[in-house]
Structure 1
Amino acid sequence: MYSSVVRLQNTFGFFTTVAFVVAAFVSLSDFLSPRTPTVNLLKPTSLQVVNGRPHYYSPVQQYGIIKFSLDADLSSLFTWNTKQVFVYITAEWPSLDSQNNTNQAVIWDKIITAPSSDHLAKYGPIERKKLKKAAVGKPIDPSRGKLVLKNQRYKYQITHPSGKIASQEDIVLKLHYNVQPWVGLLTWNQEQTWGKWEALKGATSKKFKLPAVKKKDEGKKTTKSNSRA
């Protein structure tokens, strides 16, 4: 007869096998839900380049400051297996270095949690009540993933290893997303359509150019001329 230890091992092995099979079915169920993320608007609204230092003893560098407007619908990314969606916007521009064809820097990001994982976010009591009320009777709140931002302030400034970024041309803004499920693999924004998962549309803005660094003397001259007038 089998000993108690052997029986316990067999039971645990059977349990892990069943759990793995169930997890695989849960993960594959995501492919049955359509994904139709779209970006209706993504454009810069305010551009500025300033001088600064990352550290006190560091040389002066140029930093690009970009504000933007965004109208996107990522609500189809939320299913019953979605834990949260990480959304971020990058500024990208071509590089003269042959080893690095594109420069990329994140200017803004946001984590959008599903109703089932709101407890993982740092919400206040009032905002938590609103989220729970909005999700009553719904597996997924339809408003999750709908982003409407006007003249949104940047989170991160952009720069370049050379320390110069003023008057940089051919810059575009791009929206990216990363779906983090409860069970399964992480999925990123896709450029091609796979079955019911459609490629992200309208995620790239039109090309624009950063301005030159505004000198302090120019601001003083403008102020003096206005006062004389």
Structure 2
Amino acid sequence: MHSTVVRAQNVFGFFTTVAFAVAALIAFTDLITPRTPKANISMSKVEVVRGRPNYYSTKKEEYAVLRFNLNADFSSLMNWNTKQLFVYVSASWPNSTSSEHTNEAVIWDTIITSPSADHLQNIGPAAMKKLKKSAEGKTIDPSRGKINLKNQKAKYQITAPGGRLAEKNDVVLKVHYNIQPWVGVLTWTPQIEFGKWKMMKGGVSKLFNFPALKVKKAADTTSR
């Protein structure tokens, strides 16, 4: 009854109980920590061309090349339980065949890590040294959660299921985020306010339209 194995099992059981209780307490602290994200996004330039949007594309189709401006403050999301923050921008527009659905495509994304998760980033030694220096003497540098982009080119091209994208109306850009904690569940951009978790202020651009297809003008070969 008091063998070494039984005592080891009792110690291990007590340890897991305490660890679970501490983890649950840490996860609960997220609920009482204010989240007040805000973002301002606007379209800078957009054009629609015809070609192969990716090197693996098998056929030519219409795709949009877009640039945007983004000024966001997610510093309130970077607390002691935040492992990393995934931020992405999507473009959505009405579906021409169904009024109940919309087309949506991710055009840009980035990952913001906490200081203790910097080793997860796939960046060079110089960038890593600069990143670590920004957190010296601080638990989490607030500047890590801030994004300021001007005339940023989209990482991913926008295509449509039918291959036609030109002259589509009511396009809008939206900012989204996903928080990956050290302990707890993944949380996405909230659609309603929950306690001290506020909905993101802004994060939606003004409506704009995809322009007509950009076509090269044929050379004038007529003689005068």
Query: Do they superpose with TM above 0.5?
Result: yes
Name the SS for the 1:10 alignment partner. Answer: helix
> CA-to-partner distance for each residue in 1:113-161, whole Å, 9 max, x for gaps?
1111111112322222222222122111010111110000110001111
Partner Cα distance (2:99, 2:28) in 1: 38
Q: How does 1:87-98 map to 2 (within 5 A)?
A: 87-98=87-98
Offset of residue 19 of structure 1: 1.1
TM-score (normalised: structure 1): 0.89
Partner Cα distance (1:194, 1:88) in 2: 22
Q: Which amino acid aligns with 2:16?
A: T
Structure 1 position 127 matched with structure 2 position 127: yes
> CA-to-partner distance for each residue in 1:62-92, whole Å, 9 max, x for gaps?
1111110011111110001111100000001
Partner Cα distance (2:47, 2:140) in 1: 39
Partner Cα distance (1:74, 1:85) in 2: 9
Structure 1 position 27 matched with structure 2 position 42: no
Query: What's the counterpart of residue 43 of structure 1?
Result: 42
- Runs of 4 or more consecutive aligned structure 1 residues displaced over 6 Å after TM superposition: none
Sort the Cα spacing of 1:194 and 1:166 in 2 relative to 1 into closer, same or farther, 3 A. Answer: same
Partner Cα distance (2:114, 2:72) in 1: 17
Q: How does 1:73-152 map to 2 (within 5 A)?
A: 73-98=73-98, 101-152=101-152
Name the SS for the 2:173 alignment partner. Answer: strand
Among all aligned residue pairs of Structure 1 and Structure 2, give the percentage whose two residues are the same amino acid: 55
The answer to whether the 8 A contact 2:49-2:215 is kept is no
Instruction: Give the superposed CA RMSD.
Output: 2.0
Query: What's the counterpart of residue 51 of structure 2?
Result: 52
Partner Cα distance (1:169, 1:47) in 2: 13
Offset of residue 100 of structure 1: 5.6
Deviates more, 1:45-54 or 1:105-114: 45-54
Across the two proteins, how many residue pairs are aligned to each other? 220
Gaps of 5+ in 1: 225-229
Partner Cα distance (2:48, 2:93) in 1: 15
Name the SS for the 1:199 alignment partner. Answer: coil
> CA-to-partner distance for each residue in 1:46-66, whole Å, 9 max, x for gaps?
111111235778342111111
Deviates more, 1:1-10 or 1:151-160: 1-10
TM-score (normalised: structure 2): 0.91
Query: What's the counterpart of residue 61 of structure 2?
Result: 61
Offset of residue 108 of structure 1: 0.2
Q: How does 1:177-192 map to 2 (within 5 A)?
A: 177-192=177-192
Partner Cα distance (1:119, 1:58) in 2: 38
Name the SS for the 1:93 alignment partner. Answer: strand
Partner Cα distance (2:130, 2:58) in 1: 46
Name the SS for the 1:152 alignment partner. Answer: strand
Q: Which amino acid aligns with 1:139?
A: T
The answer to whether the 8 A contact 2:159-2:165 is kept is yes
The answer to whether the 8 A contact 2:69-2:151 is kept is yes
Name the SS for the 1:132 alignment partner. Answer: helix
Name the SS for the 1:63 alignment partner. Answer: strand
Q: Which amino acid aligns with 2:44?
A: T
Query: What's the counterpart of residue 227 of structure 1?
Result: none
Name the SS for the 2:159 alignment partner. Answer: coil
